[in-house]
Amino acid sequence: MSDTEDPIKPWGGRFNETTDAFVERFTASIEFDKRLYHHDIDGSIAHARMLHKTGILDSDEEQQIIDGLESIRADIAANKFQWSVALEDVHMNIEAALTERIGATGKKLHTGRSRNDQIATDIRLYVRDEIDEMATSLTDLQSALLGLAEREADTIMPGFTHLQTAQPVTFGHHLMAWFEMLDRDYSRLIDCRKRVNLSPLGAAALAGTGFPIDREYTASLLGFDMPTGNSLDSVSDRDFAIELAAFASLLMTHLSRFSEELVLWTSAQFDFVELPDRFCTGSSIMPQKKNPDVPELVRGKTGRIYGHLISLLTLMKSQPLAYNKDNQEDKEPLFDMIDTVKDCLKAYIELLPAIVAKKDNMYQAALKGYATATDLADYLVNKGLPFRDAHEVVGTAVAAAIEKNQALTDFSLAELQAFSALVTEDVFEILALEGSVAARNHIGGTAPNQVRAAIEIAKKNLAHR
Query: Residue 115 Cβ, how far from ligand ARG at the closest point, in Å?
Result: 4
Could you give the string, one character per residue 140-179, with x where binding to ligand ARG holds by CB under 6 A and - elsewhere?
----------------------------------------
Q: Does residue 105 bind ligand ARG (CB under 6 A)?
A: no
Which of the following is catalytic: 2, 187, 267, 283?
283
Q: Does residue 464 bind ligand ARG (CB under 6 A)?
A: no
Q: Could you say which residues in the range 311-330 bind ligand ARG, by CB under 6 A?
A: 325, 327-328
Closest to ligand ARG by CB, 109 or 157: 109
DSSP state at residue 272: -
Quote the CA–CA distance of 396 and 37 in Å, as a whole number.
71
For ligand ARG (CB under 6 A), the number of binding residues is: 9
Closest to ligand ARG by CB, 115 or 440: 115
Nearest to 29 by CA among 104, 130, 134, 122: 122
Contacts of 180 (CB under 8 A, 6+ apart): none
Closest to ligand ARG by CB, 33 or 62: 33
Quote the CA–CA distance of 178 and 451 in Å, as a whole number.
13
Contact range with ligand ARG by CB under 6 A, out of 115-123, 127-135, 183-191, 432-440: 115-123
In the residue annotation, 47 being an active-site residue is answered as no
The secondary element (H helix, E strand) that includes residue 226 is strand 226-227
**Contact present, 373 and 167 (Cβ < 8 Å):** no
Could you give the string, one character per residue 369-408, with x where binding to ligand ARG holds by CB under 6 A and - elsewhere?
----------------------------------------
Nearest to 269 by CA among 409, 115, 163: 163
**Contact present, 154 and 121 (Cβ < 8 Å):** no
Which of the following is catalytic: 59, 162, 318, 442?
162
Contacts of 313 (CB under 8 A, 6+ apart): 242
Contact range with ligand ARG by CB under 6 A, out of 104-112, 114-122, 154-162, 308-316: 114-122
**Contact present, 125 and 193 (Cβ < 8 Å):** no
Burial class (CB in 10 A: 0-12, 13-18, 19+), 414: exposed
Q: Does residue 236 bind ligand ARG (CB under 6 A)?
A: no
Closest to ligand ARG by CB, 200 or 448: 200
Q: Could you say which residues in the range 80-99 bind ligand ARG, by CB under 6 A?
A: 89
By CB under 6 A, name the one of 93, 116, 142, 199 that touches ligand ARG: 116
Residue type present at position 355: I
Contact range with ligand ARG by CB under 6 A, out of 111-119, 149-157, 175-183, 296-304: 111-119
Quote the CA–CA distance of 202 and 195 in Å, as a whole number.
17
Quote the CA–CA distance of 28 and 141 in Å, as a whole number.
38
Query: Residue 177 Cβ, how far from ligand ARG at the closest point, in Å?
Result: 41
Integer-rounded Cα radius of gyration of the chain: 31
Q: Which ranges in 317-447 belong to alpha helices (H)?
A: 331-351, 359-367, 373-382, 387-404, 413-419, 427-431, 433-439
**Contact present, 40 and 117 (Cβ < 8 Å):** no
Q: Does residue 234 bind ligand ARG (CB under 6 A)?
A: no
Closest to ligand ARG by CB, 89 or 237: 89
Query: Residue 232 Cβ, how far from ligand ARG at the closest point, in Å?
Result: 14
In the residue annotation, 162 being an active-site residue is answered as yes
Closest to ligand ARG by CB, 145 or 198: 198
Hey, how many other C-beta atoms are within 10 angstroms of the C-beta on 408? 24
Closest to ligand ARG by CB, 62 or 89: 89
Query: Residue 116 Cβ, how far from ligand ARG at the closest point, in Å?
Result: 5
By CB under 6 A, name the one of 119, 196, 219, 341 that touches ligand ARG: 119
Task: Give CA angle at 235 (304, 337), nearest 5°.
Answer: 15
Q: Could you say which residues in the range 13-52 bind ligand ARG, by CB under 6 A?
A: 29, 33
Quote the CA–CA distance of 135 and 38 in Å, as a whole number.
21
Hey, how many other C-beta atoms are within 10 angstroms of the C-beta on 79? 6
Closest to ligand ARG by CB, 31 or 58: 31
Query: Residue 31 Cβ, how far from ligand ARG at the closest point, in Å?
Result: 11
Query: Residue 86 Cβ, how far from ligand ARG at the closest point, in Å?
Result: 14
By CB under 6 A, name the one of 47, 110, 113, 115 that touches ligand ARG: 115
**Which residues are annotated as catalytic?**
162, 283
Q: Which positions lie near ligand ARG, rule CB under 6 A?
A: 29, 33, 89, 115-116, 119, 325, 327-328
